[in-house]
Amino acid sequence: MKDTTRHQGKRRQLVQILVDKGIMDKAVLEAIGNVPRHLFMDSSFEDHAYQDKAFPIAADQTISQPYTVAFQTELLEVSKGDTILEIGTGSGFQTAVLCELGARVYSIERQQELFKKTKLFLTKLGYRPKFLSFGDGYKGLPEYAPFDKIIVTAGAPYVPKPLLSQLKVGGRLVIPVGDNPQIMTLFVRQSATKFEKTELGEFRFVPLLEDKN
* Residues designated as active site: 64
Helices (H) and strands (E) in the chain, counts: 6, 9
Between CA 90 and CA 141 the distance in angstroms is 17
DSSP tag of 143: G
Cβ atoms of 51 and 79 within 8 Å: the answer is no
Determine which residue in the list 90, 129, 171, 176 makes contact with ligand SAH, applying CB under 6 A.
Answer: 90
Closest approach, Cβ 115 to ligand SAH, in A, equals 9
Determine which residue in the list 29, 31, 63, 85 makes contact with ligand SAH, applying CB under 6 A.
Answer: 63
Between CA 106 and CA 144 the distance in angstroms is 9
Q: Hey, which residues between 92 and 131 contact ligand SAH (CB under 6 A)?
A: 93-94, 108-111, 114
3-state helix, strand, coil in the chain (%, to 5): 35, 25, 35
Closest approach, Cβ 68 to ligand SAH, in A, equals 9
Size, binding site for ligand SAH by CB under 6 A:
23
Residue 73 in the binding site for ligand SAH (CB under 6 A): no
Binding stretches for ligand SAH (CB under 6 A):
61-64, 87-88, 90-91, 93-94, 108-111, 114, 136-138, 153-154, 206, 208-209
